[in-house]
Structure 1
Amino acid sequence: MKSVVRILALTIVYATLGSCVSMKKYQELEGKYEELEQENSGLLADLKQYNDENLLLQSELEGLRKKQDETQKEYEKTMAEVVATQKKYDAIKEDYLMLENSSSKSMASNTKRNRELLQRLEERERALAANSKQNQQLAKQLEDQETALNQERSRLEGLLTELNQRSQRINELEGLIAAQDAKMKALKTSISKALTNFEGKGLTVEERNGKVYVSMENKLLFPSGSWAVNTQGKQAVEQLGNVLAQNKDIAVLIEGHTDDDPYGGDDKLNGNWDLSAKRATAIVKILLENSEVEAQNLTAAGRSKFSPVAENNSPENKAKNRRIEVILTPKLDEIAKMLGDI
């Protein structure tokens, strides 16, 4: 169960950080995850309750069987007594006929005695009939209990089958996530090798939380206040595009960032927002013109000064904040579909 929670939580993190997945999609997945966790806890609680009830029913069933055995023994004993009484009755009846022929007085006495014996015999027969009825009731109750147990057993087997199927789908999901992690690590290695000539020039490549972050400071890409990519920056972006073209199932988010200094350049731009967006779009244009990166995998965004990596309190830190970040994310469509099936 802890493995299930860990996998689901990890999956939600993927879904949360994936740029190509909307906030609405994330909230739906998160809600689905919470519903699944509650449903899974409820199923386990129900399973424990049903097991407890099953044990109680088995105990009651054994008690009924024991009581039936005791009643059966009493019934057999009573039948033996009835047979013995019947024999006595037959003997008395024979004596009665003999005495009836010999003496009216003896006949009257024997008649009274016989009537008493007959009355006792009838009482025995009524008791036997009552015991037989009780046995029938116990047998019916036993049959009903066995039917209920069989129905409960079938329901529990269905629950176990469902739990096993969910466990199998979770294992498949875990394998898919592990494969995506390995793929993103390999992608990071490929990008690092392709851009090794630009190390120490304001370029870094990192893998965090299942995503690859390629950060390029503006000194590598743009002149101050401009969104025209220089020759060295264009070369770096083209080499990055060659790697991305080989990974067509990766979503590419290109973010432009500035420091907090007010933009004082071209009057056609509306401050740092427009500048950061223009720079991000310029990177997208190079990727589309000089590599086989698919356009539907690309997203450009301007973040202005609102996502700094350092305090804007020194020229060095401001230079770090003026950057382009290329964020590479595995598409989560297949994972989201598997989550919906669990």
Structure 2
Amino acid sequence: MKKVFLGTLAMTVLLSSCVSQKKYADLEAKQKETQDLLNSATVKLNDCLEEKATADSRLQTLEDQNAFLKANNQELINNMGNLTTLTTKGAENLEKSLESLREKDLTIRKLQDAVTRRDSVNLSLVQSLKGVLGNLDDEDIEISVEKGVVFVSISDKLLFRSGSYNVTNAAKEVLGKVAKVVNNKPDFEFMVEGHTDNVPYRSGVLLDNWDLSAKRATSVVRILQNDFGVDPARMTAAGRSYYIPLVSNETSADRAKNRRTRIVVLPKIDQFYSMIEEGMKDPAIGGGGK
């Protein structure tokens, strides 16, 4: 009986031992499977952590770029505002410049018109003078226009005797013809200039060539006033001595050319200004006609 009991106990223990080993194996397999899953999850977790770190870094970069772009965008907006202001001011300045140019152009056109009319008047004067003096020798009298001014140059030998400032009778005939023209041109003034050569002069009360040239100029002015009725208010007498020669004074022929009396005919200054003002009123050049 005892043997049977021991045998049964031994069998029970043996059977019990067999079941535990199997469970253990199952548990061990499950543990290994769980460990594998854990290892796999750990690897995935690490990968996720790395991806998250990379994503965080990219996110920070993008945020920095976004902040930079926002700042640039604001700066561009500000610059556009400034540019708009500058463009507006530039347009205003350009318009002012164009207006100034238009005004200057208009002024130039008005002046050109006045000068053209002055030149037309001068041409008429020259034609009149040449008409009455055309029969004279060109060496004795010359009519020219320089810089808008009419010049009548009369040689010394025609007007005066050598060393004298008394006008000859032949010269009075010439001066009478000049007076006829200038009396018909009341809008002109003129200056009578005496010129000598460089040979020193002293005779009687005259001290030098200055005195002689001035005395000859006043002699001509007196003839025009007293004999031919030219308004003295329109005339100026001037002595130029020998300081403005036409040619050198090396020969007697050249010195004779330098001894001359020149009548400078020019519009009255206020008359010339009136011509300009009239030009400004001309509708053809944009005048207001006021």
1:240 aligns with 2:178: yes
Tell me whether 1:327 sits opposite 2:264 in the alignment: yes
Cα deviation for residue 183 of structure 1 reads 1.9
Counterpart mapping for 1:244-259 below 5 A: 244-259=182-197
Give the letter aligned to residue 99 of structure 2.
T
Instruction: Check if 1:271 corresponds to 2:225.
Output: no
Give the secondary structure class of the aligned counterpart of 1:259: coil
Aligned to 1:29: none
Give the structure with the higher percent helix.
Answer: 1
Question: Aligned Cα RMSD in Å?
Answer: 3.2
Per the alignment, residue 66 of structure 2 pairs with none
2:106 is aligned with 1:159: no
Q: CA deviation at 1:282?
A: 0.7
> What residue number does 1:185 align with?
123
Question: Residue type of the partner of 2:157?
Answer: K
Q: CA deviation at 1:326?
A: 1.0
Range moving further from structure 2, 256-265 or 319-328: 256-265
> Computing the radius of gyration over CA atoms, which structure comes out larger, 1 or 2?
2
Amino acid at match of 1:323: R
Residues 240-285 of structure 1, C-alpha deviations (whole Å, 9 max, x = no match):
01211222333312111122233253x1111222111111001111
What is residue 295 of structure 1 aligned with on the other side?
232
Q: Matched residues in 1 for 2:238 and 2:127: separation?
A: 25
Taking structure 1 as reference, are residues 149 and 306 closer, same or farther at Cα in structure 2, changes over 3 Å only?
closer
Amino acid at match of 1:250: F
Q: Equivalents in 1 of 2:134, 2:275: separation in Å?
A: 38
Give the TM-score, by structure 2 length. Answer: 0.60
Cα separation, 1, equivalents of 2:142 and 2:159: 13
Gaps of 5+ in 1: 1-132
What secondary structure is seen at the aligned counterpart in 2 of 1:197? coil
Residue 145 and residue 201 in structure 1: after superposition, are their counterparts in 2 closer, same or farther (change >3 A)?
closer
CA distance in structure 2 between the aligned counterparts of 1:213 and 1:144, rounded to whole angstroms: 63
Change in CA separation of 1:160 and 1:230 when aligned onto 2, cut-off 3 Å? same
CA contact (8 A) 2:114 2:275 kept: no
CA distance in 1, matches of 2:135, 2:101: 53
- Partner Cα distance (2:191, 2:115) in 1: 21
User: So what's the TM-score if we normalise by structure 1?
Assistant: 0.52
Q: Is 1:209 the counterpart of 2:147 in the alignment?
A: yes
Identity among equivalent positions (%) equals 33
Q: Is the 8 A contact 2:197 2:245 kept in 1?
A: yes
- Work out whether 1:306 is the aligned partner of 2:243: yes
Secondary structure of the structure 1 residue equivalent to 2:135: helix
Task: Give distance in 1, aligned partners of 2:158 and 2:173.
Answer: 10
Unaligned runs of 5+ in 2: 1-69, 281-290
Distance 2:234 2:245 in 1: 25
Q: 1:218 is matched with which residue?
A: 156
Distance 1:158-1:194 versus aligned 2 partners, 3 A rule:
same
Q: How many residues align?
A: 206
Is 2:109 the partner of 1:171? yes
| Distance in 2 separating the partners of 1:144 and 1:306 | 65
Say whether the 8 Å CA contact 1:253–1:300 is kept in structure 2: yes
- Contact 1:254 1:324 (8 Å CA) reproduced: yes
- What is the distance in 1 between the residues matched to 2:182 and 2:242? 27
One-letter amino acid of the counterpart of residue 169, structure 2: T
Distance 1:337 1:208 in 2: 20
Q: What amino acid maps onto 1:301 in structure 2?
A: A
Superposition pairs of residues 27-66 of structure 1, within 5 angstroms = none
